[in-house]
Amino acid sequence: MKKSSINASQHLVINNSDYAEMVLDKAIHNFHLDRILKGIDQSLESRNKEEFLRLTEELKVIRKQSFIQ
């Protein structure tokens, strides 16, 4: 195999690895976001102000992190 073919194959593997990592990060982010939003809904239904405030602060942090990345 030529050296250029090896480099192209290695580059493709790295790109696939980076893509897989991005997909996984997005899935984890969406999971956390969904968990927080459901918790906010529950806290509103149960009129739990402390939990609502805690979760909305957590939501702000997660949304800010998604803009930074």
Domain boundaries defined on the chain: 24-69
Token pair belonging to 39 = 């918790």
Mean pLDDT by 10 residues, the chain (69 residues): 55 74 91 97 98 97 79
Mutual orientation of helices 3-45 and 49-68 as an angle, nearest 10°?
160
pLDDT of residue 68: 67
pLDDT of residue 61: 93
Q: Which of 35, 25, 24 is nearest to 58 (CA)?
A: 35
Q: What is the Cα–Cα distance from 9 to 15, expressed in whole angstroms?
A: 10
pLDDT of residue 16: 80
pLDDT of residue 20: 87
pLDDT of residue 10: 60
Q: Which of 11, 53, 20, 17 is nearest to 36 (CA)?
A: 53
